[in-house]
Amino acid sequence: MMSDNKTSTFPSDFLWGAASAAYQVEGGHDADGKGPSIWDVFSHQPGTTHEGTNGDIAADHYHRFKEDVALMAEAGLQSYRFSISWPRLLPEGRGTANAAGIQFYSDLIDELLKYGIKPMITLYHWDLPQALQDIGGWESRETVDAFEQYARLCYEKFGDRVELWSTFNETLIFIGMGYFTGAHPPGLRNPKRGIQACHHVFIAHAKAVKAFRDYQAENRIPAGGQIGFVNVMQPHDPITDSPADIAACKMADDLLTHWLYDPVLKGEYPAHILNMAQLTWGVPEFAPEDEDLLKENICDFIGVNYYKREWIAANPDVDNTQINTTGEKGSGKEFGFKGLFKFVRNPESTYTDWDWEIYPEGLCVGMMRLKDRYGDIPFYITENGLGAKDPIVDGEIVDDPRIDYLSGHIDAAASAIEQGINVRGYYPWSFIDLLSWLNGYQKQYGFVYIDRDNDLARKRKKSFYWYQGVISSNGAIR
Ligand code: BG6
């Protein structure tokens, strides 16, 4: 897997970055006027996370960002993807802004720019203000309006210095786990409410893109400013070539990929799935302006978070070949959507300790499939990484499996570029070890280890030095 060919496939303006999210890295959960988010509240409820871990302190990046940015500069990072904590800026989700919160992000941006590191801001990485959840969260149109206000505040305060923005991170996860499996807040198992909440997220996204265009028109965003949407990219393959498995796999693609990408890249839902959802649940309900909002506010790029592929098998009780055509024979109610197909393990594949398939080629395959459907869109690989319990050998963190994992995926990114995919940047997850939402601090992803027994001291892992070499050779040495 390790390649040291000296010529680089990557364009000279390719961005080598790393990613994080506010709740997972910042800590300072109630510092300086920050309001509680749904994750602050949820993770404090017994039984919701691994051994009750939460993000109260996380990596304490809120207080140590200068030290962290200096490490990023040492690694040679060219861009840093981070999210803004909405309740740190607007403790009630709307209304009066918190000056200390604005100051924190302003200082973080300035610190990054001091070293020539381009900020990439995610507006929503799941930490909804609890005050908005209390009025219905994403099920309420008031949250949509509050999101637009919040987005405008961010453009107003940081737009002069930040070119790269994305609205949301991974509807598949925060809607899927928030409303279908119940493992994330608000902890529901109610597809009807989830589909409507998801629709509101798309409308909030469209409104934030529209507001972004206003700021661009007034030259209040740097030239070259772009706004995108970040989605899980999880290619599906049928476990056998039987017609039933192939039909089940198409259904998985439609529900888990096209349903979530079409609204932001085509401005509409896949018609047969919309039909099935409306026949089964009566949702999503459209407000009069929704259709135009979606159509008129296509985003500039797509961020793909790639960790794994999923193998799909048919549920013997379902005939997806019927449903796949018009949606009219859909049995969403009976099977709760999820039962329309099954995720299965492939005994021939390699898996991580958390049972995620390691399949580097899927990064290239996934982008090729998206290009086939959506045309020549710009891609940023906004997350990719190996979650593992890293071994410490004589005081050093020797994370060779992570290096192998990332190296293989950079090969796949190079191969995508060689095949004409417009890939503009690569952001491994994560720069420093941070909180894994449900798995606590045991599942590590970072280039920098955090010693939780020693005042959260930072320590460079072997992969830190490896990634430094990748960046300085523009991906030629990997
Ligand atoms: C992505 C999220 O789904 O996967 C990250 O955007 C998350 O926030 C990452 O941490 C890895 O997932 P996990 O569950 O291993 O932490």
Among 305, 384, 437, residue to substitute to test ligand 1 (most atoms within 8 Å of Cβ): 437
**Which residue minimizes the CA distance to atom 7 of ligand 1?**
436
Atom of ligand 1 nearest to the CA of 307: 4
**Which residue minimizes the CA distance to atom 10 of ligand 1?**
436
Given the residues 26, 139, 170, 310, the one annotated as active site: 170
The 3-state DSSP class for residue 417 equals helix
The burial of 404, by beta-carbon neighbours within 10 Å (0-12 exposed, 13-18 middle, 19 or more buried), is given as middle
| Displacement of CA 57 from its chain's centroid (Å) | 22
418 tagged catalytic:
no
Among 429, 431, 432, residue to substitute to test ligand 1 (most atoms within 8 Å of Cβ): 429
Whether 433 lines ligand 1, by a CB cut-off of 6 Å, is no
What is the rounded CA–CA span in Å between residue 395 and residue 283?
55
Residue with tokens 């994330």: 184
pLDDT score at 316: 86
Given the residues 26, 148, 310, 383, the one annotated as active site: 383
Residue 288 CB contacts under 8 Å (≥ 6 apart), including other chains: none
Whether 387 lines ligand 1, by a CB cut-off of 6 Å, is yes
pLDDT score at 327: 59
pLDDT score at 307: 98
Q: Dig out the tokens for 287 from the structure.
A: 């407000």
What is the rounded CA–CA span in Å between residue 268 and residue 258?
10
| DSSP-derived pairing of the beta strands 392-393 and 457-460 | unpaired
**Which residue minimizes the CA distance to atom 13 of ligand 1?**
436
Atom of ligand 1 nearest to the CA of 385: 11
Q: What are phi and psi of 64, to 5 degrees?
A: -115, 20
pTM over 0.85: yes
Residue with tokens 């049995």: 331
| DSSP-derived pairing of the beta strands 448-451 and 79-83 | unpaired
Whether 429 lines ligand 1, by a CB cut-off of 6 Å, is yes
**Which residue minimizes the CA distance to atom 8 of ligand 1?**
21
CA 436 to ligand 1 centroid distance, Å: 6
**Which residue minimizes the CA distance to atom 12 of ligand 1?**
436
Q: 3-state DSSP: the chain helix, strand, coil percent, rounded to 5?
A: 45, 15, 40
Q: pLDDT in tens for each of the 478 residues of the chain?
A: 445 554 689 999 999 999 999 999 999 999 999 999 999 999 999 999 999 999 999 999 999 999 999 999 999 999 999 999 999 999 999 999 999 999 999 999 999 999 999 999 999 999 999 999 999 999 999 999 999 999 999 999 999 999 999 999 999 999 999 999 999 999 999 999 999 999 999 999 999 999 999 999 999 998 889 999 999 999 999 999 999 999 999 999 999 999 999 999 999 999 989 988 988 889 999 999 999 999 999 999 999 999 999 999 998 888 777 666 665 555 555 556 667 899 999 999 999 999 999 999 999 999 999 999 999 999 999 999 999 999 999 999 999 999 999 999 999 999 999 999 999 999 999 999 999 999 999 999 999 999 999 999 999 999 999 999 999 999 999 9
Identity at 77, one-letter amino acid code: L
Atom of ligand 1 nearest to the CA of 436: 16
CA 303 to ligand 1 centroid distance, Å: 14
170 tagged catalytic:
yes
Give domain limits for the chain. Answer: 15-472
- Domain 15-472: CATH architecture, name and number where available: Alpha-Beta Barrel (3.20)
Rg, the chain, Cα only: 21
pLDDT score at 339: 79
